[in-house]
Structures are given as C-alpha cells and as structure tokens.
Amino acid sequence: MLKTLIIIDQQEGIDHPKLGPRNNPNAEQVMLSLLSHWRAQGWPVVHVIHRSKEPDSVFWPHQSGFNLKSDFQPQDKETRLEKSVPCAFTQNHLAEVLETLGSHELVITGVATNNSVEATARTGGNLGYDVYVVEDACFTFAKNDYFGNPHSAAEVHAMSLANLDGEYAQVVHSEVFLGA
C-alpha cells in the first residue's frame, strides 16, 4: 500500500528561542533522510505548514518565521498545505489529497509531538487511516502540566507518543523505513 510522508511545521519560526528547550536535536536530519528516501522512491510527500492567526506567533504569515526551512521546500508533485489549527485534516483538503493519491497509510513527522503531530495522528487514526508516527523524526518543547508542574521536552514527547501508540497510530523508529 502507498505510504504518504507528512512533514509538519518545518518552518523557520520553529527554531525561535521563545519556544524553549526541545528534545530530539537530530529530528530534522532524520526527517530529511526520510524525505530523501521518499523522493528516491517517487512516493508522495505532503508538507504541512501553520498559518497562525496570532500576530505574536512564530508562524505569523507576515514575518520570516512563517517560511518553510530551505531544506524542506516541496519539489515536483509534492503537496504543500496550510493549516490554522493543530490538526492537518481540519479546514483544508488533506483527506482529498490522500484520496487522489490513493494513499491510506500516513507516516507522520514534524513538530510539535504533543500538538500538531498528535492532533493529526489522532484524527488520521479516527478516520481509519493506518498511521505511523516516527518518534525520532518528531520533537517538542518543555511544558508545564495542568497543575503547573514542569516537564522536560523528552517527557512531553514520551507522553504524547504513549497517548498515540496502539490506539491512534503505531509509533516507530525511522529504521523501520530506512533500514537499520
């Protein structure tokens, strides 16, 4: 079955210091390895970017943080979609793109694990897609929980993956697709 690689929010703004400490410092390199592999196979790729409605956001469209990082620019027939909420299925045509491609399997990478990655994986799973989240090709940021207790980016990442695995998606390491 045809697997579509989905790369979420690899925009310049994601590197802004105001977002705080992150995990998986090599995640972008893993994403690029997956992207190169997908391109070499001629498999479908969807680049999802966030168009914030908030002027103080790192993804506000009227500043450089909105732009895709240079290494993540779509090529040839790759699809570029915008979203204004965390879920890549909401208020755009991702489902129609996947239907046109004949793809029912999604390989999700990007940022933030506990936000757009998790929201997209949950919705994809709920819609009946076979969803894979590549744990070493995602990252997130440190965050306080509801009660104000601080959690490292690694802890937030791990909990988000635990929320997804086996229920909405299968969480895998990149070597599943790239080899050991």
pLDDT truncated to tens, each residue of the chain (180 aa)?
689 999 999 999 999 999 999 999 999 999 999 999 999 999 999 999 999 999 999 999 999 999 999 999 999 999 999 999 999 999 999 999 999 999 999 999 999 999 999 999 999 999 999 999 999 999 999 999 999 999 999 999 999 999 999 999 999 999 999 986
Please list, residue by residue across 28-45, b when 16 or more beta carbons sit within 10 angstroms of its beta carbon and e when fewer do: bebbbbbbeebeeeeebb
**In CATH, 3-178 is 2.60.40.10:** no
pTM here? 0.96
Give the C-alpha separation, 63 to 146, whole Å.
31
Strands 150-151 and 143-144: antiparallel
